[in-house]
Amino acid sequence: MVARLEAAENLGPGPVREALLALPREVLMPQAYVRRSALDERPPRWDLLDWSEPGDREELLAVLYGGESVLIQHDGEPLVDRPTGARSGGSITSMSTVMGLTASVLEELDLRAGQRVLDVGTGAGVTAAVACHICGDTTVVTLDRDRNVAVAALARLGTLGFRPAVVSGDGACGWPEGAPYDRIFVSFALPSVPEVLVEQLAPGGVLLMHITTDSPSWPALAVVSRGPDGRISSRLRAVEFAHRAAHGRKQIFLSPAFRERIAARLADGGAEVRRFRSCEVPPPEEARGFWLALDALHSGLVQHRGVGDLVIGAPGCGSWMAARPDGSGAWAVTAAGPRNIWTEIHQTALRWRDAGEPEVYRLDIEPDGTQRVSAGHGESALAWQLPAPRDAAMQAKP
């Protein structure tokens, strides 16, 4: 797994690599679910694999060290002393994040011995274990909303010889009792940065967390720093991948039926379908700063990836568009619905280019809680405001 992370440039030499090499994932995740049904099959079916069962070990090892998300909890169940076997219906309620994403963010945190660390979203305890290995377990606090997850993590981290503070409660509240922290890492995405987490940063401290809108297509990473003088400086960087949205946050998707309707209309047309050629060239998918701005300025859009064409839908109103180069320097566009998504792309591209084609934006967190994203200056500035952080509803409990 570590070799694959290095090959993908998610991991380099240093303490994070050494910690991952020393970490037996089967101790933190002695049981894990594998899905036995197709993604669109209802009800879904899973099997719970168990390290103590010799017949499960080969498949479980492949799951644990394959680098993908590891499913560890079904329907909020206790993770200790649960029976193995099949499950039907319900949903997965906790998982360990894709390791490439975890490793890259851990690298960016620049963990060092003696730092006080708040790990928000314990899950299987992988991030907490890495922090304990590098910083020392007495300076690490790990927090999860689910008490069953926290109880299991406490026991399994203890098996590895680590004794961090393991608490349960609302991650957006942080853990004031352990503050201030030199590093805060949040393993779920929110629409904005919780102010209370910023308040828990020590001078010289850094907070990393992913920001998403209702759409999962174009996320960003917020990097919040508190200077030695106590001043906050922040930036928002468009990224390819992000953590899942926080528990309870619903996001919009293109349903299988919506995608099938797009495919059918592309094939046979219809009275509501518009076809035209455009000389405007949209920014490439790698220009993530543009797509981040499009999502912020024209909400409700989702990209349908893996189909070759540029396909974007607005499930709220049923609009969609598909575009591809026609070989003559122009783009052939097919669209339907009340929204003119192609025009929205073109208008945003003009503003993004005028602002200097930013990939990283300033993030200003004002004393009144306002969070403003911007790039460029004067009439060329490209700016928007993040939603107000929600009020924390539940205090963390040990």
Please answer whether residues 375 and 362 qualify as being in contact, where contact means their C-beta atoms are separated by less than 8 angstroms.
yes
Tell me if residue 278 is catalytic. no
Q: How far is CA 338 from CA 28, 367, 374, in A?
A: 50, 39, 29
Burial class (CB in 10 A: 0-12, 13-18, 19+), 39: exposed
| Cα–Cα distance for residue pair 229/248, rounded to 1 Å | 37
Catalytically annotated residue among 37, 69, 91, 94: 94
Task: Tell me the residue type at 313.
Answer: G
Q: Which two tokens stand for residue 246?
A: 């926080």
φ, ψ (nearest 5 deg) of residue 359? -105, -25
Cβ-based neighbours of 161, under 8 Å, separated by 6 or more: none
| Cα–Cα distance for residue pair 121/94, rounded to 1 Å | 10
Please answer whether residues 282 and 352 qualify as being in contact, where contact means their C-beta atoms are separated by less than 8 angstroms.
no
Catalytic residues: 94
